[in-house]
């Protein structure tokens, strides 16, 4: 009977607080200034031309904005996961496409931080962090027939003397074809599914071939493309972790990066909300600003509430990650809620602006296009719900 049900005990975790440290505030100010002065002025043009923002990337790299989260011993500042979320929100407020382009190298570096040897970290993280020369990274796991079902990948790794030979095609790869260094996942035995997957650090010069560049609905300033591997030899020292540990590395990577993707979604939603708020206070109909009509005021209230809730979920997951706590469920909650919030808020922003919001002369339609990918990449909102429900029920 229901009356006999006892509520489950909540796991106790150390108490978090909501104050940013002085260092975090400085990172936030640096990122916001960069977004305001270097990203926003050029974002519409890069979106229109669907071109990679090399000049912005170079400037961000010179400032260390692409690698500040690396451990200090490998050229970063050792910034916390929470600090990285604070920075990502500001950069995404500038432009989600350019922010995605900036984040591609960090995504590549994450599995190296998680599973790499000290020698691998010194070599590749140090190379990424060297501000004298830009080195782009890419993370290659998705395939034409292996999206949400990662374990069904067909890219193969065959053990040979001194290393492995990789064959296959990767799909929807951020920085694909442009990157200098890739982390590529391949299976040694497709019948073993997850247990057969390995991760490799593969340099472009080893034979990675650029494939089709995708023409996207949104985040057009980021470069998304296929890559092809044809008998690419990878030395054994470039394998990440042990054989068969690639799937675990991939899942741990997502656990670390989903809070950051949630922060990106928060940044896009905030940009759209701020613009809609300003517009609604200036646009007059029936003799008064439209913000004073309940229909619009309630939309703004919901937008502000949901953005704050998304940010709090994001910060909680990042804070738990910094404490070394299990964060799989919380990271998926943050990513799911923030992504869905970004889609809803940007759609409502277009609605508040009405006809002009639909026009390309105004930024709201771009934010709406950009927001959609938040519900898809690094695990769809549906996959996040699967993760959350499994963590809740244990099935």
CA distance 228 to 176: 10
pLDDT of residue 4: 41
- Please state, rounded to an integer, the average pLDDT across all residues of the chain: 94
CA distance 258 to 264: 10
CA distance 201 to 241: 11
Positions in the chain whose pLDDT score sits under 70: 1-17
Residue 378 is a catalytic residue? yes
CA distance 278 to 273: 9
CA-to-CA separations, 70 to 75, 198, 375, in angstroms, rounded: 7, 23, 27
Which strand (E) or helix (H) includes residue 212?
Answer: strand 209-213
Q: Which CATH number fits domain 138-246: 2.40.50.140, 3.90.420.10, 3.40.50.11900, 2.40.110.10?
A: 2.40.110.10
Q: Give the strand pairing for 156-160 and 163-174.
A: antiparallel
Residues 234-257: tens digit of each pLDDT:
999 999 999 999 999 999 999 999
pLDDT of residue 287: 95
Q: Which of 90, 143, 306, 378 is the catalytic position?
A: 378
Q: Which CATH number fits domain 247-393: 3.30.1300.10, 1.20.140.10, 3.30.230.10, 3.10.105.10?
A: 1.20.140.10
Note the pTM of the prediction, 2 decimals: 0.92
CA distance 32 to 34: 5
CA distance 383 to 148: 7
CA-to-CA separations, 99 to 13, 52, 195, 346, 384, in angstroms, rounded: 32, 11, 33, 17, 22
């Amino acid at each position: 009977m229901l009356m006999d049900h006892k509520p489950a005990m909540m796991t106790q975790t150390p108490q978090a607080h909501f104050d940013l440290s002085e260092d975090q505030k400085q990172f936030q100010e640096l990122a916001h200034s960069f977004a305001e002065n270097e990203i926003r002025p050029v974002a519409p043009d890069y979106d229109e031309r669907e071109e990679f923002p090399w000049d912005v990337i170079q400037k961000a790299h010179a400032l260390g904005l692409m690698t500040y989260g690396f451990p200090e011993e490998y050229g970063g500042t050792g910034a916390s996961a929470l600090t990285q979320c604070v920075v990502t929100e500001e950069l995404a407020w500038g432009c989600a496409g350019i922010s995605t382009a900036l984040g591609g190298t960090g995504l590549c570096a994450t599995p190296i931080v998680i599973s790499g040897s000290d020698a691998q970290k010194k070599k590749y993280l140090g190379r990424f962090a060297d501000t004298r020369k830009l080195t782009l990274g890419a993370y290659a796991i998705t395939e034409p027939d292996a999206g949400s079902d990662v374990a069904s990948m067909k890219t193969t790794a065959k053990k040979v003397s001194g290393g492995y030979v990789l064959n296959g095609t990767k799909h929807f790869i951020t920085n694909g074809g442009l990157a200098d260094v890739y982390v590529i996942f391949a299976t040694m035995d497709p019948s073993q599914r997850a247990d057969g997957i390995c991760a490799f650090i593969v340099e472009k010069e080893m034979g990675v071939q650029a494939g089709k560049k995708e023409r996207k609905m949104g985040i057009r300033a980021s470069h998304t493309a296929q890559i092809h591997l044809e008998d690419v030899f990878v030395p054994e020292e470039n394998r990440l972790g042990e054989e068969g540990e690639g799937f675990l590395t991939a899942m741990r990577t997502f656990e670390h990066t989903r809070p950051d993707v949630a922060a990106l979604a928060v940044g896009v939603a905030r940009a759209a909300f701020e613009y809609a708020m300003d517009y609604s206070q200036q646009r007059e109909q029936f003799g008064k600003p439209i913000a004073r009509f309940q229909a619009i005021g309630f939309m703004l209230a919901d937008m502000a509430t949901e953005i704050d809730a998304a940010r709090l979920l994001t910060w909680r997951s990042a804070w738990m990650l910094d404490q070394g706590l299990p964060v799989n469920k919380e990271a998926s909650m943050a990513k799911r809620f923030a992504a869905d919030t970004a889609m809803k808020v940007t759609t409502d922003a277009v609605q508040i602006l009405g006809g002009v919001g639909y026009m390309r002369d105004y930024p709201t339609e771009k934010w709406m296009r950009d927001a959609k990918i938040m519900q898809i990449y690094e695990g769809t909102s549906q996959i996040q719900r699967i993760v959350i429900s499994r963590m809740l029920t244990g099935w």
